[in-house]
Amino acid sequence: MRVLVTGGAGFIGSHYVRTMLTGGYPGYEDAEVTVFDKLTYAGNRANLAPVAGSPRLRFVQGDICLRADLDAAVPGHDLVVNFAAESHVDRSIHGASDFVLTNVLGAQQVFEAALRHGVRRVLHVSTDEVYGSIDEGSWTEDCLLEPNSPYSASKAGSDLVARAYAKTHGLDVSVTRCSNNYGPYHFPEKVIPLFVTNLLDGEPVPLYGEGANVRDWLFVDDHCRGIQLVVEKGLPGEYYNIGGGRELSNRELTGLLLAATGRDWSYVQPVPDPRGGGHDLRYSVDYGRTAALGYAPRVSFEEGLALTVQWYRDNRAWWEPLKAAAATAHRPAAQDPEA
């Protein structure tokens, strides 16, 4: 089995790669893995350091938008898992073109390359943000898509392109839609790693408005196990929600992060919402379809948060250079309540 993981040096993709190369997915213990990554600001080869010595790992730097790059990497693989994406909501508000280019055209190029080179199976990783916002209840996979940011709109577009390739070309591609991930190696612009690293350094944390936005939190290992189940059992052209089953408002989340780092509310700095309160208020996914494949979250939020905070305590050498580089580039990390 040969597996190509696009975006495999990012937060979630690298977790999937590390787990596969350390025998975490039964039946794939001998899989050869090619990581294909452009290494933008959020792609980091250090994320692969724990498995860098594996003889089953190969790294290729490339861009999913470029046919030549894909043609050099895709041939000979049995499975492609597409994690590659631009994923920060606030960044998409200030500049949407990169999101449309990578998330729509890039995904289409991956599907086209898979067809061209006879790849047997493709898994496309998406997000629950394609559904918009929900006041009560939970989204099923059949709910209307109502994305409210350029980021989520671009991901919705890629989901529909995946379906089109399944229906029109017979590509064996399934789509997963996850809720908010957290865990080790999470780039420190997203809310949990940003807050944790700031608080560990005794710095304030920015809380949008009243912190009323509600998100469902999913530990990265649970997410990747769900992805692998869909790889093995999912149907072509179908969508599969993957959730963590723990909804928290941003204010509740902030309270838990303060407690985990030994800080108090004096470290919280209210800031205006860049959308004037327009961030989606609540996300909630019904993951019954994925549960039917055997999925259930295993890591409680309390357990996952403790593991995550301890990882950031122990791995300053990983995150301090990333925050320093952002500051040097005059691109301070900004809270993204969507991820």
**pLDDT tens track for 72-113:** 999 999 999 999 998 767 777 777 888 899 999 999 999 999
Annotated catalytic residue, options 69, 86, 90, 128 = 128
**Could you tell me whether strands 121-127 and 173-178 are parallel, antiparallel, or unpaired per DSSP bridges?**
parallel
Tokens in use for 185?
């190696």
pLDDT of residue 40: 92
| Alpha helices in the chain, H assignment, sequence order | 11-21, 67-73, 89-94, 97-100, 107-116, 150-169, 191-200, 220-233, 250-261, 288-291, 301-314, 316-328
151 counts as catalytic: yes
pLDDT of residue 276: 52
More confident residue, 339 or 200: 200
Annotated catalytic residue, options 16, 28, 151, 182 = 151
The number of angstroms, rounded, from the C-alpha of 171 to the middle of its chain's C-alpha atoms is 23
pLDDT of residue 328: 77
Question: Could you tell me the pTM of the whole model?
Answer: 0.95
Tokens in use for 187?
């780039």
AA letter at 130: V
Domains of the chain: 2-179+220-242 (3.40.50.720), 182-215+246-282+299-328 (3.90.25.10)
CA distance 297 to 263: 29
Question: Per DSSP, what are the bridge partners of residue 248?
Answer: 215
Least confident of 15-29, 140-154, 267-281, 304-318: 267-281
273 counts as catalytic: no
Burial 124-143 (b: 16+ CB within 10 A, else e): bbbbbbbbbbbeeebbebeb
Q: Are 124 and 176 in contact (CB under 8 A)?
A: yes
pLDDT of residue 126: 98
Annotated catalytic residue, options 32, 129, 159, 189 = 129
Q: What is the mean pLDDT of residues 130-152?
A: 96
Kindly give, in sequence order, each residue whose CB lies less than 8 Å from that of residue 312, ignoring residues fewer than 6 positions away: 184, 193, 196, 197, 200, 319
129 counts as catalytic: yes
